[in-house]
Structure 1
């Protein structure tokens, strides 16, 4: 048989295989390699720790340059430089897309900076990730120029508690669904909902399209699996909040490899 990842193969190329190898049995092996790489080697984990250190350095730089009167694009340029400069003498080896969503666009995910300037009262939702040799470590934090609103404080407290509950549910043998539901249950207790998954397998090329931290995913956690616990929550057209961590499944629980304070960065 001939295994081919049919989901990413152009139809014309697929037909070439069939015409030139008429006796071969073509088998769709979509995501096979992705599933095999779900459990990382110790060397891969070390590279992801290097990427996580870059993520932390870039988030720290963001906290230094996000100010009222600063152009979003200028802040983004400084953050990009930090992602490339790296950390601990190890540069970032690629610049993955990162998302800087500032008021009034904070109810939307995955949008870039603009030419606008930050203002007093602005909220900024930032998602970024350092990259080393193709391996990324995602990190999200929320910024407030001035005192955060009561609504922002409430959802921050709820989501941090949910994040900690999800991490506490991580151990070899537990499932993605159990981790996700620990978060969802805690969030509902505070009167909030998150309708989408709360994380995904993470590493090479950022997104590894296999296991998801969502209700119903029965993928069993194993040591050295890595995930982005992604708790972006876009609640209304003009309001959202983000926080995330990258973690490794360790022998007895979760090892969080990003190391940025779990707070609203009040500027």
Structure 2
């Protein structure tokens, strides 16, 4: 017996639309076969969300075939059959002998498939940045008649503009983010351990919102005094105390799509320094959102924030956002000075205004937004305040 198909995140037509866009780009680069290796790109083109990419796997997109072929570890093949939109015979599991083998690995199975399927003489696009140099050389030596083309971000850039169906999933993820931040405001109290608060936050991220559960638990960061100058540190067993500050970054996830949200908490009245940076950053956040419109650039949005912040005597060294969606970060457009990427409707960004000013002091606030036809639609909906406990 084979495992039944699960409920699909998107209709078949949506995946075929995405594949059609990929094939158009392949044609422009004279690529006949594309090996998609990046886990988020595999999710985008197939619906597969399982974190099995710690061993070799590849989605093979043939420009002449309607559906791709997914080659992965045999024990993970049933999960792919369950999640992916493709017919089950398009899922190929390679044997366990290729795991932990010093001489061969799953990419040997991919090379074998290309030879057996008659694809070894076609121009071959590979996400080269996802491969060790030795593995790339293996592809070239074992497929001597293939013209290898670096297609590292071919799919990634196509993900930048979302479909309306994707936006609906992003809204679902954002609702989970809001519900979780509300739960955090209920459980962060003096005497409560960071770990106990983190457990409640994790539960809320999984429980979801509006009857739609979180479908994965992404890393979240609870940076409490005295570690508020850090940005990516987990909780500890310490307890919250009067005077503690907590910087919290989290994001609900639906079908691989996340919606980031950051807020700052203060147990007791916030310090004058914290109040001042908060007021400056909220004003900067609103200026950045006001600058969002189709045709403006990422740089223009970022500089609207930076200019406003500097008026208040503060600065921010890091970028103030990035393209956002599958896998959290989409490594394409950044909200930073000099990024000339032009905004288009249905692009989504995490306007990430975490600001780590000193080794022992920082502040966070962020929103996930969509570029609409005329401006910014903020998908998250949590009050822009310091949560005073």
TM over 0.5: yes
- Measure, in 1, the Cα distance between the counterparts of 2:367 and 2:383: 10
Aligned position for 1:113: 235
Q: 1:202-225, CA deviations, whole angstroms, 9 ceiling, x for partnerless residues? A: 000000000000000000000000
Deviation at 1:16, TM superposition (A): 2.4
- Measure, in 2, the Cα distance between the counterparts of 1:16 and 1:42: 40
- Measure, in 2, the Cα distance between the counterparts of 1:136 and 1:199: 14
Question: Secondary structure of 1:142's match?
Answer: strand
- Structure of greater Rg: 2
- Measure, in 2, the Cα distance between the counterparts of 1:174 and 1:11: 38
| Runs of 4+ residues over 6 Å off in structure 1 | none
- Measure, in 2, the Cα distance between the counterparts of 1:123 and 1:82: 21
Q: 1:181-205, CA deviations, whole angstroms, 9 ceiling, x for partnerless residues? A: 0000000000000011000000000
Deviation at 1:19, TM superposition (A): 1.6
Deviation at 1:20, TM superposition (A): 2.3
Question: Secondary structure of 1:68's match?
Answer: coil
- Measure, in 1, the Cα distance between the counterparts of 2:229 and 2:311: 22
Higher relative contact order (CA 8 A, sep 6+): 1
Deviation at 1:108, TM superposition (A): 0.8
TM-score, L = length of structure 2: 0.68
Q: 1:135-171, CA deviations, whole angstroms, 9 ceiling, x for partnerless residues? A: 0000000000000000000000000000000000000
Deviation at 1:242, TM superposition (A): 0.1
Question: Secondary structure of 2:232's match?
Answer: coil
Structure 1 gap ranges (5+): none
Question: Secondary structure of 1:214's match?
Answer: coil
1:168 correspondence with 2:290: yes
Q: Output the aligned Cα RMSD.
A: 0.6
Q: 1:19-76, CA deviations, whole angstroms, 9 ceiling, x for partnerless residues? A: 2221222111112111011000000000000000000000000000000000000000
Aligned position for 1:8: 130
Deviation at 1:9, TM superposition (A): 1.1
TM-score, L = length of structure 1: 0.99
Deviation at 1:89, TM superposition (A): 0.2
